[in-house]
Structure 1
Amino acid sequence: MTPEVLPDIPRGFTAFAEWSACLVYILLLRKRFTPPVLGLALGLGLGLLWSVQIFAGKMPIALWTLGMAMAVAAMYAVVALCADVSTREVGYFTARAFVLAELVASFHWQLYSYAVDQGFTGLTVQIGLLVLVYGAAFTGAYLIERRHFPPDQRLEIDRRGLLSAVAIAGVTFLMSNVSFVSSNTPFSGRFPFEIFYIRTLVDLAGYVALYAHQGQRLELQRAVEVEAMNRMLRSQHEQYLQSKRNIDIVNRKYHDLKHFVTAIRTENDPEAKATYLDRLEESIRGYGAQVQTGNPVLDTILTAKTAQCAELGITLTCVVDGAALSFMDAMGLSALFGNALDNAIESTAPLPDPDNRLVRVAVYTQGALVMVRFENYHVGDLEFDDGIPRTTKRDALNHGYGLRNMRQVVEGHGGSLTIHDEADWFVVRALIPVPAERRSRALAQDVDALGPPAAGY
């Protein structure tokens, strides 16, 4: 058995393997086009990869490395054309797709070479094995890769992650193909089946390494997100406690000043002192004002945010039935309302027109559900990931958790959170079911309020 008897993988098969590997990751990523247009783009991509492989096959053997570089560049172009991801993500998934394509193509050709050695030849065997191996391998790759693409989490690829993937792919390719370049190395095989086996085994190791690498990065990112969300929850709760302390202090000062004013009014010179005291009372009146919702936690949060909005020239309108959310604890309310209002204030404060600095909050019941609605005037377009706007801050890895925290709180109570951009208004709606025991208690209170039935009934 010699390499002449068993030639290397046909260029057309290699092109199809590369295209199929790109398709696996394109299906897992955000698509740039609608399905019909995407199908056309994928067809063009297959034609591009096939053309590049045929052209590279006609190049001198000395330019073999250049031919492979062209193939990788074509795979990069296909992923960039079809997937709506960043440049780094295109490079990262191109490296992964390249190793996957090399693995499947090598495995198929190894099986075919064995079949030829056993006397099974012909185009039917070759195509049959291709359909079977490629279909099973790429379908299996899609299924196992899918667990690394959770719908509620986006894998952020930084420079280190990209370089790691490219390095693993490069080393895998060099080690798996060294036997085709020279048989006089410590890592080369000298017999055809040995060469094919080494190539397949090294490609498998490279794919496993890349798969584990992404899994590790995903777990690390989850840990970072959980820690960031916990920090934000603690921060919101601490803000609530601090606001409560500040409001208590201000209210005590307010009542002390009222008594002080009353005492002074008993003094002589009523005209001058009355004028002075009226002004003094007017100046401190705002400090005694507090939002009253029927829920002490919401009273504290909304009072603090109202004062913050007043300082920034933002009009905050609240129509809130705080008693409807009495089943939620202080941590949950702080995370939900604190994050929502912080985002709204941060979005509206920079607006140049004071008439556009508008924030609205509403809480009301709808049957057995509580509707919580936050609205703020918004300028510009938003891009969404899994129903949540992408953060506009440069350090995306450490920002954008406020809305995720809100969703976590709402879903933790069996509700749902939806976010919309409606005609220059950014709208967040939370629909939360009232716990059954709360509904039963409220119904019992309503019955007691009606009193005993009238005589004759």
Structure 2
Amino acid sequence: MIPIEDALQDIPRWLTGTAEWGAALVYILLAPKRLRRVPLIAALAGGLMLLWGVQELAGSLPLGLWSLGMVLAGGAMYGLIWLCVDTDARGAGDLFARAFVLGELIASLEWQLDQHFFGGPDWTWQRVVLLAVVVGGSLGAAFLVERRNFPPGLRIAIDGRILASTLSIALVTFLMSNLSFISDTGPFSAREGREVFYVRTLVDLAGFIALYAMRSQRLQLQRAIENQSMNTLLRTQHEQYLASRQQADAVNARYHDMKHYITALRGEEDEGVRARLADELEESVRGYGASALRTGNSVVDTMLATKVAQAETRGITVTCVVDGSVVDFMDVMEIVTVFGNALDNAIEATSRVADPEQRLIRVAVYRQGDFAVLRFENYFGGELRLVDGLPPTTKDDSHHHGYGLKNIRQAAAAHQGTFTVHAEDGWFVLRMLVPIPG
């Protein structure tokens, strides 16, 4: 075994700590944040100090405890990421593995260029400029490259298998890139001075590319699954609309037939009995006519009638103030998507309210200037937590649910509109604002 310091001038500990911190910062900026701005800045500053301290401590340990120093540095990076990013332990582990490999790559690349152009113990201003350009440029390039793998509003579920693969790539990359600094006699060790730096940088780059490709492939797979699930949900909503439309037509036809029957019944003899029976019959079908909403848009009428009936079976009161003509510019599928998913979510959430008097849903659709406003409200009486602008699903199969609100957001975006959800005095409020074509 040849000690590192006897073979080549190793990367300064403060430089390694800075590269690790910068790499962690890249993934913290790409991922949803757990902390607000001021606490986040404080946590990042504390993390930089901690990584510097850990690296200096690791540098003072004997070679036999080299692995302990790396474990401490890795633990500090993981803790910083977990503290700042809104994710679970496995998600933080995945980000840590990526940040660790990126940090090793940046530190190795900078030191390789430094030793080629400068070297030695003296830090001139040219050497400092090179350090700043290489580290800053590498971190910026990594951020731009990885941004494609971290699209807003889409998260990759990290299970044990994915985490194990990520950590394995990171571990193998680290071990292979540092073999030459432990021994120059191994079959995979470089034996020439500058060659050691080149091998380390190349292996770290290969590890970074492997992790990037793995996440990119996983992202494409998840998008394909999500698109399939969203299309399935759209088809289901449309089929429900068609069925409801047929049912509404049948009810209306039955309603008109009954009116003619009542008229004929009143013309029969024994007026007292006939009149009483006719009154009872008319009263029994009166609900059909009352429940047939007339908003000015037949698709909206059908969706509201269907969903109001579903809500009533669960003891939920629905109040509608809707001008359906406002959304005439939207096609059938878009209207079905918006009203179907919004009311399905509202009914599901409101049905869990313990107090029957508070099981309330309000629907309002109206024109405001040149915009159509669609507002769906349901009482839930709790605190609202948003993930990527949407509430997390409460269903057990979270991988195959939660697409309803995403479909509504897509419908709004298709018309250059906006979609927001928020809590307001115990009410969940979904609001769409869509420009009406001139």
Instruction: Map 1:79-118 onto structure 2 (within 5 A).
Output: 79-116=81-118
Supply the distance in 2 between the matched residues of 1:386 and 1:94 (Cα, whole angstroms): 21
d(CA) in 2 for partners of 1:65, 1:190: 23
Q: Distance in 2 between matches of 1:17 and 1:218?
A: 27
- Checking the alignment, whether the CA contact within 8 Å between 2:296 and 2:323 is kept in structure 1 is yes
Query: How many residues of Structure 1 are paired with residues of Structure 2 in the alignment?
Result: 433
**1:414–1:432 contact (8 Å) kept in structure 2:** yes
Q: Secondary structure at the match of 1:427?
A: strand
- Separation (CA, whole Å) in 1 of partners of 2:73 and 2:259: 82
The 3 A distance-change label for structure 1 pair 18 and 279 is same
Query: What secondary structure does 1:388 align onto?
Result: coil
Aligned to 1:40: 42
After the TM superposition, which residues 272-291 of structure 1 pair with which residues of structure 2 at under 5 Å, given as runs?
A: 272-289=273-290, 290-291=292-293
Once the two structures are superposed, the pairs formed by residues 290-309 of structure 1 within 5 Å of their partners are: 290-309=292-311
Partner of 1:384, secondary structure, is coil
Is 1:398 the counterpart of 2:411 in the alignment?
no
Alpha-carbon displacement from aligned partner over 1:327-373 (angstroms, at most 9, x marks no partner): 22111110011111111111111212111111111111122222211
Aligned residue runs from structure 1 range 160-179, under 5 A:
160-179=161-180
Rounded to whole Å, the distance in 2 between the matches of 1:50 and 1:134 is: 16
**2:299 and 2:400 mapped to 1: Cα distance?**
28
87 and 304 in structure 1: CA distance in 2 versus 1, 3 angstrom threshold: same
SS of residue matched to 2:402? coil
Alignment partner, residue 57 of structure 2: 55
Correspondences of 1:167-316 after superposition (within 5 Å): 167-289=168-290, 290-316=292-318
Instruction: Deviation per CA, 1:375-410: give whole Å up to 9, x if none.
Output: 111221122234322323343332211111112112
CA distance in 2, matches of 1:90, 1:22: 11
Are the aligned partners of 1:3 and 1:192 in contact in 2 as well (CA < 8 Å)? Answer: no
Give how far 1:3 is off.
6.2
User: What letter matches 2:394 in structure 1?
Assistant: T
Query: SS at 1:252's partner residue?
Result: helix
Q: CA deviation at 1:72?
A: 0.7
Q: Paired residue for 1:346? A: 348
State the shift of 1:52 in Å: 1.7
Alpha-carbon distance in structure 2 between the residues aligned to 1:37 and 1:312: 44
Task: Kindly indicate whether the alpha-carbon contact (under 8 Å) linking 1:178 and 1:187 is maintained by their aligned counterparts in 2.
Answer: yes
Structure 2 length normalisation: TM-score?
Answer: 0.92
Q: State whether residues 319 and 362 of structure 1, in contact with CA within 8 Å, keep that contact through their aligned partners in structure 2.
A: yes
The separation in 2 between residues aligned to 1:73 and 1:394, in whole angstroms, is 32
Cα drift, residue 198 of structure 1: 1.2
2:372 aligned with 1:370: yes
Q: Is the 8 A contact 1:115 1:121 kept in 2?
A: no
Contact 1:347 1:378 in 2 (8 A): yes
CA distance in 1, matches of 2:36, 2:436: 40
The range that moved more, 142-151 or 253-262, is: 253-262
Query: How far apart are the structure 1 equivalents of 2:59 and 2:328?
Result: 72
Question: 1:123 is aligned with what amino acid?
Answer: W
Per-residue deviation at 1:6? 2.6
3-state secondary structure, aligned to 2:393: coil
Q: Distance in 1 between matches of 2:355 and 2:337?
A: 29
Question: What runs of 5+ residues in structure 1 fail to find an aligned partner?
Answer: 437-457
Could you tell me whether the CA contact under 8 Å between 2:7 and 2:181 is conserved in 1?
A: no
Counterpart in the other structure of 1:379: 381
Quote the residue 1:441 is aligned against: none
Helix, strand or coil: the match of 2:247? helix
Deviation at 1:270, TM superposition (A): 4.4
Cα separation, 1, equivalents of 2:72 and 2:413: 48
1:252 deviation in Å? 2.4
Deviation at 1:311, TM superposition (A): 1.1
Normalising by structure 1, report the TM-score: 0.89
Q: Which of 396, 408, 411 matches 1:409? A: 411
Deviation at 1:422, TM superposition (A): 0.7
Instruction: Answer whether contact 1:6 1:113 (CA < 8 A) is retained.
Output: no
Which letter maps to 1:247?
Answer: A
Question: Are 1:15 and 1:53, in contact at CA under 8 Å, matched by a contact in 2?
Answer: yes
Matches of 2:122 and 2:55 in 1, distance apart? 23
